[in-house]
A and B are shown apart, each in its own frame.
Chain A
Amino acid sequence: MAQWDRMGSKAPMTAHGPLWRILSGWNRNDRFLAAAAPDGGGRRRTREGHADVARVRTGVRVVGAVLAAVLGASLVGCSSTGGKRAEDRAKAAQAGRPAVSTPRWTFAMVTHAGDGDTFWDIVQKGAKEAAAKDNINFVYAHDDQAQQQAQFVQNAIDQKVDGIVVSLAKPEALKDVIGKAVKAGIPVITVNSGSAQSAEYGALTHIGQDEQIAGEAVGTELTKRGKKKAVCVLHEQGNVGHEQRCAGAKKTFGGTMENLYVEGTNMPSVQAAIQAKLQADPSVDAIVTLGAPFAPTAVKAKDAAGSKAEVDTFDLNESVARDLKSGALGFAVDQQPYLQGYEAIDLLWLYRYNANVLGGGRPVLTGPQIVTADEAGKLEEFIKRGSR
């Protein structure tokens, strides 16, 4: 935490350095035809050189002034609300020392998370904290393409790690490589998806539940709330996990449910597409987003389209908690990603240390849990620190 503090305060200084260098580079470039004349350039050249230097000095002075203004403003123009300082005030120091005396084992975790996925970010966080406590050297790799995921598992086997945690979004693609790991005597635990194949492939146990089951919980809840027509918003076309979530919801939902694909990397287009859907079909009374960051966007789209639909979502984050509390969101379904990461690592450690196995050959479920306005208040603090 202290390290982040330093980072923050140093940022403007480091920005100053390269900028300065780039500027002098610009000068060189500007002159680059004029430079390096063989001999005696004559009066004309000299004068040009002076002009260049003067021009650059002016440029440097201008940029210096702007930087000074920005730095000054950042000191004077402080925000008395929110921000890092508010977070610091609220945050208690956490020590991250191991609590056990076992040797330093290396556990690898390989998931099908895409870049910058919020859900998997929390899984990773749980795994890291368990690793810190259990004196584990934790290695993490992820790729949303199964082929690359299998490659990562193979890398882990090659490195002779002491345990592997893997998610099975496309079980068949990983079957061989998991078999190899088991054969090499490396304990494997599967997380999140793949509960049906886990035992068959030779994994010790499975933590978490399939996306399908989480989806089914949403369908049931929507039916309970008396919804008739729902839209499932998929923010990544071709993502197996997303398809499973929507398929699950569709299965248990009493009304009709349609899929809507949006470009998850382009927030304005997500909003426009949801808006368009609601305008095209005013009878939609529920929108389900598959990721926490898309829920507030769906709320905006709903407001802009003048629709009365209820917005519900998978997963949690700070703004989802806020919107749940304020009533802008109906409910969120949580699979406790922190638990999936934490338990996977901790169970590997238990197996190594004490040959303990949890679940008795059946998946250990971490959800789904329906979070509504009441629970959101309770969870807010944990969500804020990034562990829910």
Chain B
Amino acid sequence: MSTATAVDERLAPTSLVRRLLGRPELGAVVGAAAVFVFFSFAAPSFLQASSLSTILYSASTIGIMACPVALLMIGGEFDLSAGVMVTTSALVSAMFSYQMTANVWVGVGVSLLVTLAIGFFNGFMLTRTRLPSFIITLGTFLMLTGLNLGFTKLISGSVSTKTIADMEGFSSARALFASQWNVGSVTLKVTILWWLALVAVATWILLRTRAGNWIFAVGGGADAARATGVPVVKTRIGLYMGVALCAWISGQHILFSFDVVQSGEGVGNEFLYIIAAVIGGCLMTGGYGSAIGSAVGAFIFGMTSNGIVYAQWNPDWFKFFLGAMLLLATLLNAWVRKRAEAK
């Protein structure tokens, strides 16, 4: 019966619509278009080139983290410590440089090592204890929040770091992590380039490398992956270290663009990354999603958060919009999965 139906179905040509329906980003792209059109009418200043660059900047700061978080979610795990890890990375960089009176680049390097170590710790604890990643990274989240505040106060005596803007290496580091160009009236930030590059690399990894195949497999069926010889442990640890790497990029951007870092920053941002990834088509249960989707999700987030300001609405309702969007995206994804698993 099975072979017979398969042959019958073959006769129907694969339509473009059907193929598009199978893409994980579909829901997000439709949503993005709807939000764009909506704000184009609702907010007169929304379509200005300068406004769009603001939106892109906003989207890029979320998107840089949403991208590795999406990969992690495809791999079937969460990272609740992603938001504060960004702050940790910036704090380590600033405080190391300041306390050692070292060239700023030394602090940036140390920060990279520390941040990667945190990512490794997350992955290692997860694979070792086999507890849900929700619990493990919630623990890391709380610990980092405490460490951020504790160490900052212990070392610099206040809740924010001291400025390192007058130290050697600052300007070159700023050029890499926080530079901007003026094209006419439009200001383009370097984070947009980081963002696009990261999405491109992540897409390449996901769709065209063995590691990408493993990420899908680990998230879609860890037992099956293990049985076919996929290095599950290494893949998971690698994914967490990927999040850490991007947290480092993000953290350095914050440091070099705002000079000082407050120890309380970053809390709650982990949910924005997860929201962007989910809107972009990642399944909460893993095994399905895309890096491009996370970028579209971040863009929707950028449009919504700034669009409400452009529209001059009462921003009290912002969170409601965000929540509603998340719910719609999740419903759409559930439908897609049902379609994929239907026999």
Q: Do chains A and B touch in the complex (CB under 8 A)?
A: yes
A residues whose Cβ falls under 8 Å from a Cβ of B:
4, 7-9, 11-12, 15, 18-19, 22, 25-26, 29-30, 66-67, 70, 73-74, 77-87, 114-118, 121-122, 125, 237, 259-261, 263-269, 271-273, 275-277, 279-281, 293, 296-297, 300, 304-306, 317-319, 386
A83/B43 in contact, CB under 8 A? no
The docked-state distance in angstroms from the alpha carbon of A264 to that of B160 is 14
Which residue of chain A is the closest to B146 with respect to CB atoms?
Answer: A115
B179 contacts A by Cβ under 8 Å: no
**B120-159 interface (Cβ within 8 A of A):** 120-121, 124, 127-128, 145, 148-149, 152-155, 157-159
B127/A77 in contact, CB under 8 A? no
Which residue of chain B is the closest to A88 with respect to CB atoms?
Answer: B101
Query: Could you mark each residue 145-179 of chain B with 1 if its beta carbon is under 8 Å from any beta carbon of chain A, else 0?
Result: 10011001111011110111111110000000000
Which residue of chain A is the closest to B234 with respect to CB atoms?
Answer: A30
Selected interface stretch from B30-38, B204-212, B301-309, B332-340? B301-309
Q: Collect the chain B residues with CB atoms within 8 Å of residue A317's CB.
A: 160, 260
Which residue of chain B is the closest to A238 with respect to CB atoms?
Answer: B316
Q: Collect the chain A residues with CB atoms within 8 Å of residue B310's CB.
A: 276, 279-280
Give which listed residue, B50, B160, B305, contacts A306 with CB less than 8 A.
B50
The docked-state distance in angstroms from the alpha carbon of A280 to that of B272 is 24
Which residue of chain B is the closest to A23 with respect to CB atoms?
Answer: B120
A261/B315 in contact, CB under 8 A? yes
Give min CB distance, A69 to chain B, whole Å.
8
From A82, A277, A296, name the one whose CB has the most chain B CB atoms within 10 angstroms. Answer: A82
The docked-state distance in angstroms from the alpha carbon of A70 to that of B106 is 7
B220 contacts A by Cβ under 8 Å: no
Give which listed residue, B45, B99, B101, B258, contacts A11 with CB less than 8 A.
B99
Contact count band on B: 35 or more
The docked-state distance in angstroms from the alpha carbon of A306 to that of B98 is 33
A19/B302 in contact, CB under 8 A? no
**B264-296 interface (Cβ within 8 A of A):** 264-269, 272
Which residue of chain B is the closest to A384 with respect to CB atoms?
Answer: B162
A306/B306 in contact, CB under 8 A? no
Q: Collect the chain A residues with CB atoms within 8 Å of residue B114's CB.
A: 15
A266/B309 in contact, CB under 8 A? no
B330 contacts A by Cβ under 8 Å: no
11 contacts between A and B (CB under 8 A): A19-B113, A26-B237, A74-B100, A259-B315, A265-B267, A266-B61, A266-B266, A268-B58, A276-B58, A305-B50, A306-B185
Task: Report the 3 A-B pairs with minimum CB-CB distance, sorted nearest first.
Answer: A116-B264, A83-B101, A272-B58
B309/A265 in contact, CB under 8 A? no
Give which listed residue, A7, A8, A296, contacts B258 with CB less than 8 A.
A296
Q: Collect the chain A residues with CB atoms within 8 Å of residue B167's CB.
A: 79, 81-83
Give which listed residue, A73, A79, A268, A306, contacts B168 with CB less than 8 A.
A79
A78/B103 in contact, CB under 8 A? yes
A267/B265 in contact, CB under 8 A? yes
Known: A115-B264, A386-B157. A276 touches B318 (CB 8 A): no
B residues whose Cβ falls under 8 Å from a Cβ of A:
43, 45, 48, 50-51, 54-55, 57-58, 61-62, 83, 96-106, 109-110, 113-114, 117, 120-121, 124, 127-128, 145, 148-149, 152-155, 157-160, 162-169, 180, 185, 187, 191, 233-234, 237, 253-254, 257-260, 262-269, 272, 302, 305-306, 309-312, 315-316, 318
Known: A74-B106, A79-B167, A267-B265. A87 touches B162 (CB 8 A): yes
The docked-state distance in angstroms from the alpha carbon of A181 to that of B104 is 51
B163/A279 in contact, CB under 8 A? no
Give which listed residue, B43, B48, B117, B254, contacts A267 with CB less than 8 A.
B254
Which residue of chain A is the closest to B164 with respect to CB atoms?
Answer: A82
A279/B51 in contact, CB under 8 A? yes
Q: Collect the chain B residues with CB atoms within 8 Å of residue A306's CB.
A: 50, 185
The docked-state distance in angstroms from the alpha carbon of A326 to that of B97 is 25
Interface SS, A side: helix
Which residue of chain B is the closest to A270 with respect to CB atoms?
Answer: B258
A268/B254 in contact, CB under 8 A? yes
A280/B168 in contact, CB under 8 A? no
Give min CB distance, B204 to chain A, whole Å.
25
From A237, A265, A271, A297, name the one whose CB has the most chain B CB atoms within 10 angstroms. Answer: A265
Known: A115-B145, A279-B45. A318 touches B163 (CB 8 A): yes
A305/B54 in contact, CB under 8 A? yes
A84/B98 in contact, CB under 8 A? yes
A265/B110 in contact, CB under 8 A? no
Which residue of chain A is the closest to B267 with respect to CB atoms?
Answer: A265
From B54, B105, B114, B148, name the one whose CB has the most chain A CB atoms within 10 angstroms. Answer: B54
9 other A-B residue contacts (CB within 8 Å) besides A8-B100, A77-B103, A280-B312: A26-B237, A74-B96, A84-B98, A115-B145, A115-B264, A267-B257, A277-B309, A280-B309, A306-B185
Q: Collect the chain B residues with CB atoms within 8 Å of residue A26's CB.
A: 120, 124, 237
Which residue of chain A is the closest to B187 with respect to CB atoms?
Answer: A304
Give min CB distance, A176 to chain B, whole Å.
30
B158/A79 in contact, CB under 8 A? no
Known: A15-B114, A81-B166. A269 touches B109 (CB 8 A): no
A386/B262 in contact, CB under 8 A? no
The docked-state distance in angstroms from the alpha carbon of A115 to that of B260 is 17
A265/B101 in contact, CB under 8 A? no
The docked-state distance in angstroms from the alpha carbon of A80 to that of B153 is 25
B155/A116 in contact, CB under 8 A? no
B309/A83 in contact, CB under 8 A? no
Known: A114-B264, A272-B58. A79 touches B102 (CB 8 A): yes
A70/B124 in contact, CB under 8 A? no
